[in-house]
Amino acid sequence: MSYFITGTDTGVGKTLVSCALLNAFAAQGKRVAGFKPVAAGCDADDRNEDAKLLSAASTVRATYGQINPYCFPRAIAPHLAARHAGTRIDLPRIMASYRELAGQTDEVIVEGVGGFCVPLNEKLDSADLAKEIGLPVILVVRMRLGCINHALLTLRVIADYQLECAGWVANVLDADMPSLQENIQTLRERIAAPLLGVIPHMVEPDMKVAASCLDLGLLGAPLAER
């Protein structure tokens, strides 16, 4: 099973969790690839750092363009980044790249851009992309003040789009977050999907450490087993 990774906001650890999942599935002997449909913010080589990390964590050979079909220079909202670059983000191009990767792999980990509802063009947003791809969604929650509201609102939209939330990950980016465990417990009580793991605060993010924090056995488990 492949998964679509989204977050409660931008900069919440989607790439870390995506790479951790790739690392964990690869350790099971599966052929895996990361997929970053849209990225805003490129280096001097016109490549995005997150997409390069996904590529490095993949076990199949794929071109950069397959892994990241849309990459824009400016690190701003993707529809604005595309407009500044004089282009438009279209789903058929994204889906063609996704199907190429899916045909080569056992698992594709699709990392969304920004939050779940960030616009992609004048009509579509990231939620529409997730719906088009049709994969179960894993939600990355940045543990900080306000995370409960952000997580529950995002889950409502995921449900509105009739997508399955396969699980969620608590990513502790704020080392001094007050009442951390109580916040995690509150979310566990309100989210039907399983908590796949809690990633501790790390000065330098490490995908192998993050992978060790995830329980992949909870993915696809019946609710009674969660």
SS3 call for 176: coil
Domain assignment present for 226: no
Domain assignment present for 224: no
Do residues 66 and 54 lie in contact, with contact meaning Cβ atoms separated by under 8 Å? no
Question: pLDDT at position 226, please?
Answer: 38
Domain assignment present for 140: yes
Nearest 5°: phi and psi at 183?
-65, -45
User: Which residue stretches of the chain have pLDDT < 70?
Assistant: 220-226
Domain assignment present for 49: yes
pTM exceeds 0.85: yes
What's the token pair of residue 102? 């899916």
Do residues 44 and 141 lie in contact, with contact meaning Cβ atoms separated by under 8 Å? no
What's the token pair of residue 78? 């993707």
Question: pLDDT at position 43, please?
Answer: 84
- Report the alpha-carbon distance of residue 217 to residue 158 in Å, rounded: 22
Do residues 97 and 65 lie in contact, with contact meaning Cβ atoms separated by under 8 Å? yes
- Report the alpha-carbon distance of residue 155 to residue 176 in Å, rounded: 26
SS3 call for 68: coil
- Report the alpha-carbon distance of residue 26 to residue 32 in Å, rounded: 6
Do residues 18 and 111 lie in contact, with contact meaning Cβ atoms separated by under 8 Å? yes
SS3 call for 34: strand
pLDDT for 115-174, tens place per residue? 999 999 999 999 999 999 999 999 999 999 999 999 999 999 999 999 999 999 999 998
Range of the domain at 193: 3-219
Domain assignment present for 225: no
Domain assignment present for 210: yes
Question: pLDDT at position 222, please?
Answer: 42
In DSSP terms, 9 is beta-bridged to none
Cα 100 from chain centroid (whole Å): 19
What's the number of domains the chain is made of?
1
Cα 9 from chain centroid (whole Å): 11
The domain spanning residue 209 has which CATH number?
3.40.50.300
As annotated, the active-site residues are 36
- The number of beta carbons lying within 10 Å of the beta carbon of residue 29 is 9
- Report the alpha-carbon distance of residue 33 to residue 25 in Å, rounded: 10
